[in-house]
Amino acid sequence: MADRWTLSGACALVTGGSKGLGYAIADEFVALGARVLLVARGADELAAAAAKLEAGSAAGTEKRVFTVTADLSTTTGREAAVTAAQAAPFR
């Protein structure tokens, strides 16, 4: 599929990115070259997921996985995610 698709230069925000479907989506986006912002409530699980995704990305490439620990059911959490998404170096 990598021959057919590329997300190089794209940015994606993935909620629930520390496990399950969110992690699988983030893994595919990273494999296709996107920079990914993972958002989840659990800081430890989020850090572990980000490390695993970075380890699986191409060696020598720029950092492609960024994280923000946030509960998106709260205003504060949503604001934190939006702030992280607007910040460099993610963008």
* Global model pTM greater than 0.85: yes
Please provide residue 82's backbone torsions phi and psi, each rounded to the nearest 5 degrees: -65, -45
Q: At what angle do helices 43-56 and 20-31 cross, to 10 degrees?
A: 30
Q: How confident is the prediction along the chain (91 residues), in pLDDT tens digits per residue?
A: 446 789 988 999 999 999 999 999 999 999 998 999 999 999 999 999 999 999 977 666 788 999 999 999 999 999 999 999 999 777 7
The one-letter code for the residue type at 8 is: S
For residue 23, what pLDDT is reported? 97
- Nearest-5° angle of CA 67, CA 71, CA 45? 50
For residue 62, what pLDDT is reported? 82
Q: 86: exposed, middle or buried (C-beta count within 10 Å: 0-12, 13-18, 19+)? A: exposed
